[in-house]
Chain A
Amino acid sequence: MTRHYSALSLVKEGLKGQKGWAPAWTSPQPKPRYDMVIVGGGGHGLATAYYLAKTHGITNVAVIEKGWLGGGNTGRNTTVVRSNYFFPESVRLYDMALKLYEGLSRELNYNIMLSQRGMISLAHTPAEMEMAARVVNAMQINGTDAELFGPGDVKRVLPVYNFGPKARYPALGGVWQGRSGTARHDAVAWGYARAASALGVDILQQCEVQEFLIEGGRCRGVKTSRGEIRADRVGLAVAGHSSQMAAKAGFRLPVTSYALQACVSEPVKPILDTVVLSPGAGTYASQSDKGEMVVGGGLDRIPSYGQRGNLPVLETVISGLVEMFPSFRQLKLMRQWAGIVDVAPDSSPIIGESPLPGLFLNCGWGTGGFKAIPAGGTLLAHLLATGQHHDISRPFDLDRFARGRLIDEAAGSGIAH
């Protein structure tokens, strides 16, 4: 069976009629006991399992997923990776993720199709230009790459933008991060799953957690639709359903679940080779390798678990897009969908032990979970393996809400989540 992916193995298998490929991951029966159990088979859960095995040598691990791998927000996001945040804590976290993404295809032997095409966050008014300069300064001080763009720079990277005298969103400049870009979202989930499985991790799909096994005030495992599974420590990486899992474990979380929408157009020839975000217009877009325009915007402002999205937000997003790119008016939309995101009051994630000892949290990523997958996995794995915070995850503990040490990125970098 062929396991390693390379040009050579592709040729060899091509000559043998593609019959020798091993499954990317195995689907074993659940064992009654593991050292660690991760609830949630999205990017964060699978990455956690991979780093537990790879970094900490803990391979007796199960990932439990109620649906299929990457079927939640990992397969619903718009594939943007970036680290253009304001606070030092956030930049350390998201830059850790971006650096890991940069080496991930090689590390996992799986092409995640990372394309560091750069991202421009546009400023349309002099006041927004001042805020852009502030963010660029903060990013540079925090040690990540950032550049303040003027109108000429925007013209260079976005020739199709509406620079007309009557443009509703004149482009005065913006924040440029050249290392930002896109990665294939499914490939991130599948790559981590394949690498974790190869190291001995059990991936259990179609397995729903019904309740937690709580003995002596500690979490001792989970009761699932496929039987009881005991574990020393349990990690929770379930994004929009974190509050539901927390309720089963007997506590509440400072998160609210909202629908976040996105849509794609029909595929067209290459026209947009960067990621463009306009906080003012409430729209962002990039062009996929297939040629589809991938378009998204802000949250629906109505708490929701319905993976659909509502019309007013979609209207804002599309009207912003066609104002900025008049040529896109001819595009036909192919698909529109939504994912359920868990938004914390300070728009920063929650990583740390939960109020139920033995149960560890990775949630609150809001609209920005995909870009953070390698860091979320590394940090939750560190917590599970050592019982201690990594330096980078310490500020994101659940205790920050009672201590008043919020990391307010909504105010800091003006991000939507």
Chain B
Amino acid sequence: MQIFSCPFCGPRPEYEFHFGGDLGNHRPEGFDAVPDQKWADYLYFRNNPKGMAREVWMHLTCGEMFSMTRDTVTMEAAPGEALAEGQP
């Protein structure tokens, strides 16, 4: 069982967490003015890195989202960090 660390609740078992995608994948602004490929990039296309990954995760039990740096090969995970205003 892998233990992830929620910045608000501390260390918890992996099944309490949900993967939320790449960190910094912001919704494009401009609605109708946004070209289709850019919407597709935001909605579907992923970095999917092998090795170090910067990701958004959700702790399902407290409902908070946070960022986590994780190695996708060794599965080593740094403690989660609260998302900050203006963060990339």
Binding site for B on A (CB under 8 A): 241, 243-244, 252-257, 301-306, 310-312, 345, 401-404
Contact = CB atoms under 8 A, between A and B. Distances in A.
Contact of B50 (A244, A254, A255): A244
B45 A310 contact: no
Nearest to B74: A306
Given A252-B47, A253-B45, A306-B74, A312 B40 contact: no
Interface residue tally on B, bucketed by range: 20 to 34
Name the residue in B19, B44, B48, B50 with the highest tally of chain A Cβ atoms < 10 Å from its Cβ. B48
A252 B45 contact: yes
Contacts of A244: 50
Given A254-B40, A312-B1, A402-B36, A306 B73 contact: yes
B19 A301 contact: yes
A302 B43 CA distance: 19
Nearest to A307: B73
A243 B46 contact: yes
Given A254-B44, A310-B1, A401-B45, A302 B39 contact: no
Contacts of A403: 36
Interface of B: 1-2, 13-15, 18-19, 36-37, 39-41, 43-51, 53, 55, 72-75
B65 to A, nearest CB: 16
A254 B45 contact: yes
B72 A306 contact: yes
Contact of B14 (A241, A243, A257, A302): A302
A312 B14 CA distance: 8
Nearest to A304: B72
A310 B73 contact: no
Given A252-B47, A302-B75, 4 more contacts: A254-B40, A301-B18, A304-B75, A403-B36
A255 B48 contact: yes
A241 B47 CA distance: 12
Contacts of A402: 36-37, 39-40
Nearest to A300: B14
A306 B40 CA distance: 28
Contacts of A302: 2, 14, 19, 75
A345 B44 contact: yes
Contacts of B13: 312
Nearest to B35: A402
- Please provide the 3 A-B residue pairs with the shortest distance between their CB atoms, ordered closest to farther: A243-B48, A254-B44, A402-B40
A306 B55 CA distance: 17
Contacts of A305: 50-51, 72-73
Nearest to B4: A302
A253 B40 CA distance: 10
A364 B22 CA distance: 18
26 contacts: A241-B50, A243-B48, A243-B50, A252-B45, A252-B46, A252-B47, A253-B46, A254-B44, A254-B46, A256-B48, A257-B50, A302-B14, A302-B75, A303-B19, A305-B73, A306-B74, A306-B75, A310-B14, A311-B1, A312-B1, A312-B15, A345-B44, A401-B40, A401-B45, A402-B36, A404-B36
Nearest to B77: A302
Contacts of A253: 45-46, 48
